[in-house]
Each structure stands twice: as structure tokens, then as C-alpha cells.
């Protein structure tokens, strides 16, 4: 297994040693165009990327990889240390739990994303590994889909209700340049070929994140309050 991408931006740097012990090799870099794949070893059979742009997809479908390619939406789970620019679902839950400063960036928080929980990613990968031969060179959208989509405002309202508290959220008028108002995946192709679809609901997945925060409250409080 090879991890590609900007590890610092994706906050994976804290997990490098642990993942290396599991046999993951790391190709450091910022994968954004075909040329960035130079030096990455051939023989990769399965690729998963979160919200990859077309330039990256063109690199993944290069014959040197001979791979199956998954373009994933927003991924969430209990365990990772979310932050404002990556892992926003966990970050939103942490911010609400500890009443940390929160902010909508553009559109009054009404931008919509679909959420895919890591358990469903693992189910997809397991299905693909079992029939990798017939899936090579395929490019599949895999996300939470419309059923597992919500806006930032709706996510905050859900967390407030779950935790029984109100949050004061500031509002940045100008959205980020690369942001999109509505973004969720069409899973019909991967559903047709593999019978796959997300099973973990927004409620179930978010509750598991909140349970993890509660179990690790002291450690997370020290980490996030010192960083805020």
C-alpha cells in the first residue's frame, strides 16, 4: 500500500509511524497533475482518493498503474484528528463538544456535502479486492450520496440537538475560491457493478464520533484547546 498526497495538509503526519508498521509506504508530495506521479512504484492495483480533480484522475488511469480507481467524497470516522481545513465532520463535532470558536466560510454555511463513513469505504475496498481483475482501469464515484448529504448549518443543528447546547457560529462572507455550493457523488455505477452503497447513516456515524470524543475527552481537550 502506498500513500500519496500532501500528508501535512491532510493531517496524516501524526500517523506515519503507526501506518508504516502496518506496511504502508509513503510517497510524499502534492499530487495534483500527471507529472507528480513520477517516481511512484508501478504495480498499484487499487487507488482511493478523496475528491480528486480531473488532472489527478488522468494520472491514476495511466496504464503504468493497471489499477481500479475510487473517487471518494468527504470521509469521516471516529478516531482521526479533524481540523478546520481537513476532516471537517470530526472537527465540527469536536468544536461543538468543547464549545470552540466555529465559523461558516461563505454561503452562510448552506454549502452541502455528502458524508461517507470509513466502514463503508472498507466494505467497498473488500468487494473490489475480491474481483480486482475485472475492475482494472475502472473509475468509480463512491460517496455518501444524496441520502447522506447535509449542509454545514444542518450539521451544526444536529450536533447542538445531540449535545443539548447552543453554539455561536460566526460567518465569513467570502467563500473559498475552490469551494462548491453543492457537492455529492452519484454512486449508480459502483452500485450496478458491485451492489455497493453506503450503509452507515449520518446519525449512526456521527454518534460514533461523539462516543469516541466522550471516551477520549481529557486527551482531546488538552490537544484542541492548546491548538485553538
Residues 40-80: pLDDT tens digits?
A: 666 666 566 555 554 455 455 555 556 677 888 788 999 87
Residue 155 to residue 149: CA distance in whole angstroms: 10
**What is the C-alpha end-to-end distance of the chain, expressed in Å?**
34
> Where do runs of H (alpha helix) occur along 76-177?
88-97, 118-129, 132-135, 152-163
Q: Which residues pair with 157 in a beta bridge?
A: none
- In this structure, whether the domain defined by 31-227 belongs to CATH 3.40.50.720 is answered with yes
Given this model, what pLDDT does residue 141 score? 87
User: Can you list the residues of the chain whose pLDDT is less than 50?
Assistant: 1, 6-14, 27-28, 54-55, 58
Residue 20 has which C-alpha cell? 508504516
**Reduced to 3 states, what is the DSSP secondary structure of residue 11?**
coil
Residue 95 to residue 166: CA distance in whole angstroms: 12
* Cβ–Cβ under 8 Å, residues 104 and 152: yes
Q: Which helix (H) or strand (E) holds 46?
A: strand 46-50
Amino acid at each position: 500500500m502506498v500513500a500519496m498526497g500532501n500528508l501535512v495538509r491532510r493531517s496524516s503526519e501524526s500517523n506515519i509511524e503507526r501506518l508504516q508498521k502496518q506496511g504502508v509506504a509513503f510517497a510524499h508530495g502534492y499530487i495534483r497533475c500527471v507529472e507528480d506521479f513520477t517516481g511512484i512504484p508501478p504495480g498499484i492495483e487499487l487507488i482511493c482518493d478523496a475528491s480528486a480533480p480531473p488532472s489527478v484522475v488522468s494520472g491514476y488511469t495511466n496504464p503504468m498503474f493497471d489499477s481500479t480507481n475510487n473517487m471518494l467524497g468527504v470521509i469521516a470516522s471516529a478516531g482521526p484528528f479533524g481540523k478546520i481545513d481537513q476532516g471537517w465532520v470530526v472537527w465540527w463535532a469536536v468544536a461543538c463538544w468543547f464549545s470552540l470558536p466555529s465559523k461558516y466560510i461563505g454561503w452562510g454555511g448552506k454549502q452541502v456535502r455528502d458524508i461517507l463513513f470509513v466502514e463503508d469505504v472498507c466494505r467497498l475496498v473488500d468487494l473490489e479486492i475480491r474481483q480486482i481483475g475485472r475492475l482494472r482501469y475502472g473509475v468509480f464515484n463512491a460517496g455518501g450520496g444524496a441520502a447522506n448529504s447535509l449542509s454545514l448549518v444542518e450539521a451544526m443543528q444536529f450536533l447542538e440537538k445531540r449535545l443539548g447546547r447552543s453554539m455561536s457560529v460566526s460567518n465569513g462572507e467570502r467563500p473559498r475560491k475552490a469551494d462548491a455550493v453543492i457537492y455529492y457523488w452519484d454512486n449508480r455505477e459502483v452500485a450496478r457493478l458491485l451492489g455497493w452503497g453506503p450503509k452507515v447513516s449520518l446519525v449512526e456515524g456521527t454518534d460514533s464520533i461523539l462516543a469516541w470524543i466522550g471516551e477520549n475527552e481529557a486527551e482531546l481537550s488538552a490537544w484542541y484547546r492548546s491548538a485553538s
